[in-house]
Amino acid sequence: MPHSTPLDAQVLGRLAAKREELLREGRELEALLLREQKSAGTATQRKTIWQATGVHRGETEAELGRKRRQQELDNCRADLATLQSAAVAGLSQRSPLEQYGSVLNMISGGALGFVYGAGRGWFRGWWQDVTPSVCRELMSHVGRRTAVGTALLVGTFEAAPWIKRQALASLGREDVSSYKQEGALEQLWYVDAAYLAAVTLANFMFPYILLPTALNPMQLMIPPNDVDIPMAAGVAEK
């Protein structure tokens, strides 16, 4: 396998996690394409008088359709061969970065919160012209408090999908995936209100945590765990 980046490994890991499902859908698609190919037939239509005399007027719609179906069948079989290969079967479904991503995200946010809070605490003491010992005391207190608050807020965001699933299960409702679903806007409104309430409460109890939470670098390195691999629209419809 050629050299791949961590993001490539994560995407391939998502494929490996859905390997059996993708193989089942691929075999169903292959069978469907074979039925369409057999129903259309392989015999070519009778040539027109112009084609018989050597004047080529282009391919007919039937010929183009046969070529398209054959190309789709070849692509489907190539994808099935890739999924059945040992390279995909041996992939880890989740990279170490994804497995421990939540903890790393909290540690990174807490560390950044400590640096930011300590800096603000020291600057505030310096601005009020207090003694260096008081500045250090303020720096230590505000830094620890900001670190704890940032880690808790980041952890809340990491656990938000699980909390949402548990809340919907207790209410006997399903997660919405389209604005056309009944009650979709109402559910999204409640989700937004819950996020705003969590941010407001955390910022009230632990000041100075919003900026380190927003600038946490670890969140840019870890893809969301609840993102599904997009499938072709035609495959889903068939």
6-22 average pLDDT score: 67
pTM of the model: 0.58
pLDDT score recorded for residue 4: 54
Winning range, highest mean pLDDT, from 2-6, 25-29, 97-101, 128-132: 128-132
Q: Which residue has the higher pLDDT, 41 or 133?
A: 133
Among 49-53, 83-87, 178-182, name the one with the lowest average pLDDT. 49-53
pLDDT class of 52 with cuts at 50, 70, 90 = low
pLDDT class of 116 with cuts at 50, 70, 90 = very high
pLDDT score recorded for residue 181: 80
Q: Which residue has the higher pLDDT, 217 or 148?
A: 148
Determine contact, residues 19/88, Cβ cutoff 8 Å. Answer: yes
pLDDT class of 235 with cuts at 50, 70, 90 = very low
| % of the chain exceeding 90 in pLDDT | 22
pLDDT score recorded for residue 182: 81
pLDDT score recorded for residue 11: 63
